[in-house]
Structure 1
Amino acid sequence: MNPSIIAAIAYGILALVGGIIGYVQAQSKASLASGSISSLLLILGGVMQLQGQAWGLILASVVTAVLVIVFVIRFAKTRKFMPAGLMVVLGLVALGVMVNQLV
């Protein structure tokens, strides 16, 4: 199993957990929906890579890049490391692993 598969699935699980925590703490249905959808797409991308489908890596990379942008904006507004800053850092690491696989 290559690192981009692990990065996609791990970041997907993290997005799901974050969405659930956001819902539990702030009753944010938007957080739950966005966490669930992005998690589903990231895990789908990882599974498709595992099955040898090249588009899985592209899907996971695009979703990760979008999430990084969203969390950078959120971090700029709140200036709080948790959860936005952490998701930016981990998203950049995951994206770096995925882009390295693309090249």
Structure 2
Amino acid sequence: MSLGMIATLLYGVLAIVGGIVGYKKAQSKISLIAGVSSGILLLVAALGQAQGWEWALIFALVISVVLVLAFVGRYVKTRKFMPSGLMVILGMVAIAVMVYQIIGGFNTGLMV
């Protein structure tokens, strides 16, 4: 299991949990739909990485970038660290791991 796949899995689970929490706290159906759908896409990307599909890591990277951009916009609007700031920081970590693996920094992954 590569670090890129682990980052994809963790960020996907976090997106799903965040969507559910957003729905429970604020009755936000948009949070639920966006969190669960983006989380599922990330989990599919992690599964694709496990299957050896080279595009899956790129797919996970694109989804993560979109999520980070959305959360940056949300943070700028609300100025609240939770959940936007946390998701930006964790997303940036996931993106850094994915990019590093894509450029060949990890010799244990798919993109060697």
Query: Do both proteins adopt the same fold according to a TM-score greater than 0.5, normalized to the shorter chain?
Result: yes
The structure 1 segments of at least 4 consecutive aligned residues displaced by more than 4 Å after TM superposition are: none
Q: Which runs of 5+ in 2 are unaligned?
A: 104-112
**When the two structures are superposed, what TM-score results if normalisation uses the length of structure 1?**
0.98
**Secondary structure of 1:96's aligned partner:** helix
Q: Residue 99 in 1 paired to residue 111 in 2?
A: no
Q: Deviations over 1:41-79 (max 9, x none)?
A: 101111100110011101100000000000000000111
What's 2:81 paired with? Answer: 81
| Cα distance in structure 2, aligned partners of 1:33 and 1:75 | 19
Q: Residue 16 in 1 paired to residue 37 in 2?
A: no
C-alpha displacement of 1:87: 0.1
| Cα distance in structure 2, aligned partners of 1:47 and 1:7 | 12
The CA RMSD measured in Å over matched residues stands at: 0.5
**When the two structures are superposed, what TM-score results if normalisation uses the length of structure 2?**
0.91
| Cα distance in structure 2, aligned partners of 1:95 and 1:73 | 17
| Cα distance in structure 2, aligned partners of 1:72 and 1:19 | 16
Higher helix share: 1
**Structure exhibiting the larger radius of gyration computed from Cα positions:** 2
Q: Which runs of 5+ in 1 are unaligned?
A: none
Q: What is the percent sequence identity of the aligned residues? A: 54
